[in-house]
């Protein structure tokens, strides 16, 4: 299956360290050689890079490692194709507009019966179960919430709805999700996702998939908060927290602001 990587931070932060380890799994230390992509929300804007070739050999991936794009939210995906051809149109992350904002999405897993999910405003460009599920998901959110939520109660209603929709998709198979709207990062676990939050006092971290160690104390301030989410932990000397199946985490500025699963609402 594919692998996922995301970051949420309270200050503009580059993801070069984590991405360096992650890209090696795309045809190097891992079998995910069928394309990769990465998206950044920065300074009120959005940009992404996608490539249907293995990330470990991609000049564009090397550019990302050497070009420290600083953002509050980043989402990345390396693909091991199971539904849909290996081509750019099927390469994650996918994006659509809703409420005047760019929504970014990546999925790890495989669904059955996804063709029966009804579509409305949003339609797939490629032919993957992942993109079809994304279009259905946004359609459902837009139908039930035509305007951007205002106020804490409205946002929490939206997040509960998102959790129910993710649970429905989990009922169709494996559905590990990364989703973002520029303010919030959403991570949903069906089978496997882990996260780590780095804050003062910062220490050293060593990648599992590449010979690289960073002392974060040399690159941060005492007020920085940076959280990273990945399918598998990216470092060998830090303690990552495994998400539970059916758990949705809502992240903002590096912190978890809401949590939903089958047994709790907030």
**By percentage, how much of the chain surpasses pLDDT 70?**
94
Average pLDDT over residues 178-205: 96
Flag whether pLDDT at 250 surpasses 80: yes
Flag whether pLDDT at 78 surpasses 50: yes
pLDDT at position 32: 65
Whether residue 145 contacts residue 99, with contact meaning beta carbons closer than 8 Å, is answered with no
Compute the half-sphere exposure of residue 199: CA atoms within 13 Å on the CB side of its CA. Answer: 10
Preceding omega of 158 cis (within 30 degrees of 0): no
Provide the pLDDT confidence category of residue 211 given band limits of 50, 70 and 90.
confident
pLDDT at position 53: 83
pLDDT at position 254: 97
d(CA 171, CA 165): 10
pLDDT in tens, 102-148: 999 999 999 999 999 999 999 999 999 999 999 999 999 999 999 99
**By percentage, how much of the chain surpasses pLDDT 90?**
73
Phi, psi of 11 (to 5 degrees): -135, 155
| Mean pLDDT over the full length of the chain | 91
Average pLDDT over residues 241-265: 91
Average pLDDT over residues 222-232: 96
H helix or E strand, kind and range, residue 133 = helix 129-144
pTM above 0.85, yes or no: yes
What is the 3-state secondary structure of 59-110?
Answer: HHHHHHHHCCCCEEEEEEEECCCCCCCCCHHHCCCEEEEECCEEEEEEEECC
pLDDT at position 264: 57
pLDDT at position 66: 87
Provide the pLDDT confidence category of residue 62 given band limits of 50, 70 and 90.
confident
* Choice between 176 and 266, residue whose per-residue pLDDT is larger: 176
Average pLDDT over residues 253-260: 97
| DSSP classification of residue 116 | G
Flag whether pLDDT at 99 surpasses 80: yes
Question: From residue 255, how far is each of 11, 63, 224 by CA, in Å?
Answer: 12, 29, 11
| Burial group, residue 107, by CB count within 10 angstroms (0-12, 13-18, 19+) | buried
| DSSP classification of residue 131 | H
Flag whether pLDDT at 84 surpasses 70: no
Question: Looking at the annotation, which residues are catalytic?
Answer: 2
What b-and-e string marks burial along 251-265, b requiring 16 or more CB atoms within 10 Å of the CB?
bebbeebbbbbeeee
pLDDT at position 59: 87
């Amino acid at each position: 299956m594919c692998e996922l990587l995301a970051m949420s931070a309270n200050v503009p932060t580059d993801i070069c360290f984590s991405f360096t380890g992650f890209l090696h799994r795309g045809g190097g230390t891992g079998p995910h050689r069928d394309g990769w992509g990465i998206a950044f929300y920065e300074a009120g804007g959005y940009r992404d890079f996608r490539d249907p070739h293995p990330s470990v050999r991609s000049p564009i991936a090397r550019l990302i490692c050497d070009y420290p794009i600083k953002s509050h939210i980043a989402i990345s995906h390396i693909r091991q194709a199971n539904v849909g051809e290996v081509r750019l149109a099927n390469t994650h992350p996918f994006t659509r507009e809703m409420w005047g904002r760019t929504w970014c999405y990546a999925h790890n897993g495989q669904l059955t019966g996804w063709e029966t999910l009804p579509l409305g405003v949003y339609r797939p460009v490629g032919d993957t179960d992942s993109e079809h599920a994304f279009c259905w998901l946004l359609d459902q959110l837009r139908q039930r919430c035509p305007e951007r939520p205002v106020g804490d109660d409205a946002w929490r209603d939206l997040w509960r709805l998102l959790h129910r929709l993710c649970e429905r998709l989990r009922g169709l198979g494996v559905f590990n999700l990364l989703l973002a709207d520029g303010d919030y990062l959403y991570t949903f676990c069906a089978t496997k996702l882990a996260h780590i939050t780095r804050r003062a006092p910062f220490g050293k971290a060593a990648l599992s998939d590449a010979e690289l160690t960073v002392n974060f104390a040399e690159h941060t301030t005492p007020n920085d908060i940076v959280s990273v989410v990945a399918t598998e932990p990216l470092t060998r000397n830090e303690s990552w927290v495994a998400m539970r199946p059916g758990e949705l985490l809502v992240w903002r500025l590096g912190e978890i602001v809401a949590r939903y699963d089958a047994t709790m609402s907030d």
